[in-house]
Amino acid sequence: MASSDSDRSINQNTDYEKIYNNNNNNQRANNTEDVAGLNDEVIDHPISYNNPQSYYSKTNDEEDLRSSVSNDIQKITTGGKNNEYIYIGRQKFLRDDLYQAFGGTLNPGLAPESTHKFANPAPLGLSAFALTTFVLSMCNARAMGITISNVVVGLAIFYGGLVQIIAGIWEIAVENTFGGTALASFGGFWMSFGAINIPWFGIIDAYSGHEEQLTDALGFYLLGWAIFTYGLSLCTMKATVMFFALFFLLATTFLLLSIGNFADSVGCIRAGGVVGVIVAFIAWYNAFAGVANRENSYVIVRTIQLPSNERTLL
């Protein structure tokens, strides 16, 4: 009797072991199937992984498996017959969609869409900059004999200033550091320019009787903006022709106006005005690139890409 009970106990333990082993085998099979399904999805995307073994997780949750896969991605690759697709992480983008950044989003490099669901603020900022620059530059060029430029003060405070600063902050919200820096800075420029020409601030009145100091001070003011803008233009040398031309010619405009104030040269200031008008139209061009698409316009802006590689001079 004791022997029979002992045999029965051994048989029960053996059965429990079989059940436990079968459950473990089924668990591994399920995990392997989940991972195989993920591998089938990933196989179409030529992306390399740091640690493929991390696929074989003991969890049954597919989202955990997917997150472990996405965390291991280390390469950005291309695909398609003509390499028209770019894979960034597990996201697939058309190359043309990423290149639109150069024309209409003030992003000087390839970049995926922001995770924030906001509209593109660059066209607003570029339009505000373009119109204000156009009006002031026409006055600087002395078009139609105009020598008093105070009409631009309202634009400088509200459209070129306030609106452009808002667009710059919006650019930071959509994770575009370059666009936020550029738009917010030039918005500040226009507001400071308006303040210089508003008597309430007393800036010009402070130089009464010392007009030569005023012109020199304005020269340094404009020279500082020229240096800053040339620095920004260096960050667009791998973008497109029009994107680079916008910042390079704007910096040249500041430089010409600075020299004109230092040398008290009307001709140099007028030259700066002419270049400024060209800059305004380039800014409108880039703004249009960010608004126009195949759904709303028959006219689409074509971008000309500058040569690009990973080399740097310093």
Average pLDDT, the chain: 79
d(CA 289, CA 283): 10
pLDDT above 90 covers a percentage of the chain that reads 52
pTM: 0.67
Higher-pLDDT residue of 34 and 125 is 125
Structure confidence by residue, pLDDT tens digits, 56-72? 344 444 555 454 444 44
DSSP 254: H
- What is the Cα–Cα distance from 223 to 252, expressed in whole angstroms? 10
Output 114 or 244, whichever has higher pLDDT. 244
CB within 8 A of 56, min separation 6: which ones?
31, 32, 35
Element (H, E) at 88: strand 85-88
The residues that bridge with 87 in the sheet, in sequence order, are 77, 92
- In this prediction, what percent of the chain has a pLDDT beyond 70? 65
User: pLDDT by residue (tens digit) across 5-35?
Assistant: 444 444 444 454 555 455 555 555 444 444 4
pLDDT of res. 246: 97
Q: So what's the pLDDT on residue 303?
A: 81
Highest-pLDDT range among 82-91, 189-198, 291-300, 302-311: 189-198
pLDDT tens per residue, range 177-204: 999 999 999 999 999 999 999 999 999 9
**Does the pLDDT of residue 85 top 50, yes or no?**
yes
- Which is it for strands 76-79 and 91-94: parallel, antiparallel or unpaired? unpaired
pLDDT tens digits for range 138-175 = 999 999 999 999 999 999 999 999 999 999 999 999 98
